[in-house]
Chains A and B, each alone.
Chain A
Amino acid sequence: MPSTQQSTQQQDENAPTITPGNVIEVRNLVTYYGTRRILNDVSLDIREGEIMVIMGGSGSGKSTLLRYLMALEKQTSGTINILGHDIGKISKKDFFNMRKKLGVAFQGGALFSSMTVGENIMLPLYEHTNLDRKTMEIMARMKLEVVSLAGFENLMPSELSGGMIKRAAVARAIVMDPKILFFDEPSAGLDPVVSSALDDLILTLREAMGMTIVVVTHELESAFKIADRITMLDRGDILFQGTVEEIRNHPSERIQNLLNRRSEDQTIDPDEYMKRLTGEDVKGGLA
């Protein structure tokens, strides 16, 4: 029967092309900023329900990778599959539906400064659901309760402290009960106590809501506390992927340097360093 065949074929085309158990798959991703190469042939799997921490120093490409994982950029080379959708081939409608299943807590919170905390949290509900105002307010209060900010819904973002802004951003990110939650540098700019509390919140969210969490950070302590698996980036390359124990015991000197916060210059040969300064290792010298 042609119609059945056609519908089966259509189903096959729409069927998830992702490996079961994975929520994000990146294959051979190469990205450029202008002519500068940022990510070199990156391949990465993020499994359902895990906390994946992406680590690396400044300029390692971790923030760029996060933008691709959040589908904020479309790749020109390689493939990215998020929740079964190939981002390079996804239709506009599917793309918007997929986006509703992602939540992001940005580094600076990215709360809308013209709206109150409550309005910020209700915005995704207002845009994507037909709930009445009262129900949305209740849901916003529930999410604020989760991040210990109950009673702050009528304040403007400018009236909150740095830690409170980050928690309010988390409340907004989880209001649609996303399947994947992204954190961009959650500890940046926070004191150790607040930073640790935010780590606990991340763990609680995973336990309570069962969501997959992707965290980009350069804070080792935080990463070791929350991660199920760690991906370490260095100059656009993936140096390592594995568990906390595996990375701690990894024999690679480069990884241990990064973990122990030793700059590469400390391990460099003095003669080589001298050559670099005098330009002898550059073709034709400095002339």
Chain B
Amino acid sequence: MVKIEPDMANEVEQKASSRFFDRVGRSAVGILEEVGRYGVMLSDSIYWLVMGPNLKQPVRVASVFSEMMEIGIRAIPIVGMMAGTIGIMLAIQGIYTLKIFGAESRVVIGIAFSMVREFGPLITGILVAGRSGSALAARLGTMKISQEIDALEVMGINPVRFLVVPALLGCLIMVPALTFFGDVVGLWAAGVYVGVALDISMAAYIDQTIDILSVDDLMHGLGKSVIFAVLIALIGVLNGFMVRGGAEGVGKATTRAVVHCISALVVTDMLFAFMVTR
């Protein structure tokens, strides 16, 4: 049997702890560096949006519309389908829970608040993150490895102005619009189910919903969706710009973008609810 001297054991322990602190330190610096990159990208985007025309490099409206089409219009079917499904699910669960207290008729309150304040923005955000956040990372990553971004720079076309700002504006306009659309579809689908299950007319359901909801509730959801839009665009774009290597790098960046986007949305949602609702 090997006998371990106390001095040697101490040395091993010290080395392990220094390695641990080294790893923690490096991770902390890495996180700070990434947060810094997001800040720089956002400030660069604002700079080009405002100063672009002065430098004879305005953001092209056609590019913004093209991004809006891709991020928003093409996502309408999936957002509608998912929002409708969530609306029906909320109605089913709400009726089941409230039945315990014999208060099924109050289900409209739960559905209206949950859909407009929480599920509408979150589901829309997650869907846009999955569709467009990943697409942005993959598109920019591919452009990076095929030197298209270098080509833009050499041509005197700023990549942030040409590629990032249209995507950011597209997200900023379309994510809240899709959220509003999702709210309406979700509430409508829930209304159909509630009508069948509790024998309430659609008109009565709509009346109750309008009575319950205030503009503040709507703005709560839409406000969150604006923050989600910025997060989706920045995370997608930055992961694309940071691609190294070939196709494998693009794959990794795409996965990373989706995971980071969804995680950021859920955490931001919680923080927003904590700060605004309490």
Chain A residues with CB under 8 Å of chain B are 67, 70-72, 92-93, 96-97, 99-100, 102-104, 106-108, 110-113, 123-124, 127-128, 176, 182
Contact = CB atoms under 8 A, between A and B. Distances in A.
Contacts of B104: none
B147 A123 contact: no
A124 B155 contact: yes
A96 B156 contact: yes
A123 B162 CA distance: 11
B155 A123 contact: yes
Contacts of B154: 70-72, 99, 102-104, 182
B156 A128 contact: yes
Interface centre among B143, B150, B156 (most CB of A within 10 A): B156
A128 B161 CA distance: 14
Interface of B: 55-57, 142-143, 146-148, 150-151, 153-158, 162
- Please give me the 3 A-B residue pairs with the lowest Cβ-Cβ distance, nearest first: A99-B156, A110-B151, A110-B147
Contacts of B148: 110-113
A127 B155 contact: yes
A204 B214 CA distance: 72
Nearest to B157: A127
Given A96-B55, A127-B57, A106 B147 contact: yes
Contacts of B156: 96-97, 99-100, 124, 127-128
B146 A108 contact: yes
Contacts of B155: 99-100, 123-124, 127, 176
A104 B153 CA distance: 10
A176 B157 CA distance: 13
Contacts of A124: 155-157
Nearest to A182: B154
Given A99-B153, A124-B157, 12 more contacts: A71-B154, A72-B150, A72-B153, A92-B55, A96-B156, A99-B155, A99-B156, A100-B155, A103-B154, A104-B151, A107-B147, A108-B147
A205 to B, nearest CB: 17
Contacts of A127: 57, 155-157, 162
Contact of B151 (A92, A106, A128, A176): A106
Interface centre among B55, B146, B154 (most CB of A within 10 A): B154
A133 to B, nearest CB: 12
5 contacts: A96-B156, A97-B156, A99-B156, A102-B154, A103-B154
Contacts of B150: 67, 72, 104, 106, 110
Contacts of A112: 143, 148, 151
B157 A93 contact: no
Contacts of A96: 55, 57, 156, 158
A17 B79 CA distance: 59
Contacts of B56: 128
Contacts of A113: 142, 146, 148
Contacts of A99: 153-156
A257 to B, nearest CB: 31
A82 B143 CA distance: 26
B153 A110 contact: no
Contacts of B151: 104, 106, 110, 112
A123 B57 CA distance: 13
A96 B55 CA distance: 9
Contacts of A70: 154
Contacts of A110: 146-148, 150-151
Nearest to B149: A110
Contacts of A71: 154
A106 B148 CA distance: 9
Nearest to B153: A72
Nearest to B155: A124
Contacts of B157: 123-124, 127
B146 A93 contact: no
Nearest to A92: B55
A243 B158 CA distance: 37
A176 B151 CA distance: 14
Contacts of B158: 96
B235 to A, nearest CB: 22
A104 B155 CA distance: 8
A100 B154 CA distance: 8
A36 to B, nearest CB: 15
Contacts of B142: 113
A70 B151 CA distance: 10
B86 to A, nearest CB: 34
B41 to A, nearest CB: 17
B29 to A, nearest CB: 15
Contacts of A111: 148
Contacts of A93: 55
